Amino acid sequence: MNQHGAVLDATHVRALFQELSDRLGAAGVHAQLFVVGGAAMALAYDQGRLTRDVDALFIPAPEVREAAEMIGASHGLEPDWLNDAAKGFLPGQDEHPVTVFESESLLVQVASPEYLLAMKLHASRDERDLDDAATLFLRLGYTTAEQGIELLTSTYPTGRLLPRHRYIVEDVAQRSVARRAEQKSAPQKTDRRPPQQSTERRSKLPPSEAFGRGSGRPRGPQPPTLGP
């Protein structure tokens, strides 16, 4: 956690990754990160999301941790601003991680929305987890609690699911319904640019499904499979 209650946004986290890449590159180290938690939300699914640290699985761990501590010291962050404390809670392998940063020395991928939603529904430690889960519920186009329950049962062993998880999923589903209604009732912004200009600008944007594909490099470090 950062000193003095400092928080990080996506721009700051990406800048830290660039510094990490530079340090690793100078040392001749090639590293990979698999990011979950609030940092994953900020980097890929919720632009306004803030986080106090970066929860990730990373290799090679000693070199990455040493470089991260040096970067943290130079920015007044805690030594464990980049940490692997969540590795014991990962539900298994994520088949579709999303690449958010890539250089010659560093590949950073975040959990897919399905994987991250399952983690949020299973943990549900506070309001932040529930709000994140509702955001992912909407992103995935889920409309019923049963879809969330199906995701949980296909991700976690039965022994790790409790009756409270059904109530959590129902809560998240209700939040997503309310949020969807708010979005529909909100006034739509009108694009006042000439139609041709607007179309040309949009056509230059990379398709969202292209992210995380075709890098020609191995996927990020995959979390170990837990449970039977």
What does the pLDDT read at residue 191? 55
Query: Do 52 and 140 share a domain, yes or no?
Result: no
C-alpha–C-alpha distance, residues 181 and 112, integer Å: 25
What share of the chain in percent tops pLDDT 70? 80
12 pLDDT more than 60: yes
Q: Does residue 101 form part of some domain?
A: yes
Q: Are residue 63 and residue 161 in the same domain, yes or no?
A: no
Residues 42 and 101 in one domain: yes
Residue 45 within a domain: yes
Residues 103 and 166 occupy one common structural domain: no
83 and 134, same domain (yes or no) = no
User: Residue 225 above 80 pLDDT?
Assistant: no
Among residues 111, 136, 158, the one where a domain terminates is: 111
Say what the pTM is: 0.79
Residue 93 forms part of a structural domain: yes
Both 102 and 132 in one domain: the answer is no
Tell me, yes or no, whether 91 lies in a domain. yes
Q: Which of 83, 111, 139 is the last residue of a domain?
A: 111
- By CB atoms closer than 10 A (0-12, 13-18, 19+), residue 64 is buried
Statement to judge: residues 157 and 90 lie in one domain: no
Section 72-88 average pLDDT: 95
Q: Give the DSSP H/E element, type plus range, for residue 97.
A: none
CA 113 to chain centre: 8
Average the pLDDT over 66-74 and give the result: 97
Cα gap 183→206, rounded to integer Å: 25
Q: What percentage of the chain exceeds 90 in pLDDT?
A: 72
Contacts of 226 (CB under 8 A, 6+ apart): 90, 91, 92, 157
Give residue 1's pLDDT: 44
Same domain, 128 and 25: no
Whether residue 66 is found in the same domain as residue 7: yes
Q: Under the phi-then-psi rule, with left for phi > 0, alpha for psi from -120 to 50, and beta for the rest, what region is 88?
A: alpha
Residue 27 lies in a domain: yes
159 in a domain, yes or no?
yes
How, if at all, do strands 31-36 and 82-83 pair?
Answer: unpaired
Domain identity same for 42 and 5: yes
The predicted structure's pLDDT at residue 183: 85
Which region among 13-22, 108-117, 200-209 has the lowest average model confidence (pLDDT)? 200-209
Whether 95 and 22 map to the same domain: the answer is yes
pLDDT, tens digit, 9 for 90 and up, residues 42-60: 999 999 999 999 999 999 9
Contact 97, 219 (CB under 8 A): yes
Query: Which pLDDT score, from 0 to 100, does residue 187 have?
Result: 74
In this predicted structure, the answer to whether residue 102 has a pLDDT above a threshold of 90 is yes
Nearest C-alpha neighbor of 152 from the set 135, 132, 138, 137:
137
Tell me which residue range forms the domain holding 45: 1-111
Residues 107, 64 contacting (CB under 8 angstroms): no
User: Is 90 exceeded by the pLDDT of residue 228?
Assistant: no
Q: pLDDT tens digit string along 188-221?
A: 665 555 544 433 333 232 333 332 333 444 444 4
On the question of pLDDT at 125 being above 90, the answer is no
Q: Is residue 203 one of the residues assigned to a domain?
A: no
Stronger pLDDT, 68 or 158, i.e. the higher one: 68
Q: What is the pLDDT averaged over residues 63-73? A: 97
Q: What is the pLDDT of residue 223?
A: 52
Q: Which of 66, 90, 111 is the last residue of a domain?
A: 111
pLDDT digits (tens, 9 = 90+) for 139-163: 999 999 999 999 999 999 988 999 9
The domain total for the chain is 2
Q: Please state the rounded mean pLDDT for residues 1-18.
A: 82
Residues, the chain: 228
Take residue 200 and report the two structure tokens written for it. Answer: 């040309």
- Residue 218 has a pLDDT of 42
Across 79-95, average pLDDT: 94
Alpha-carbon Rg for the chain, nearest whole angstrom, is 19
- 224 found inside a domain: no
88 and 6 co-located in one domain: yes
What is the helix (H) or strand (E) element at residue 55, kind and residue range? strand 54-59
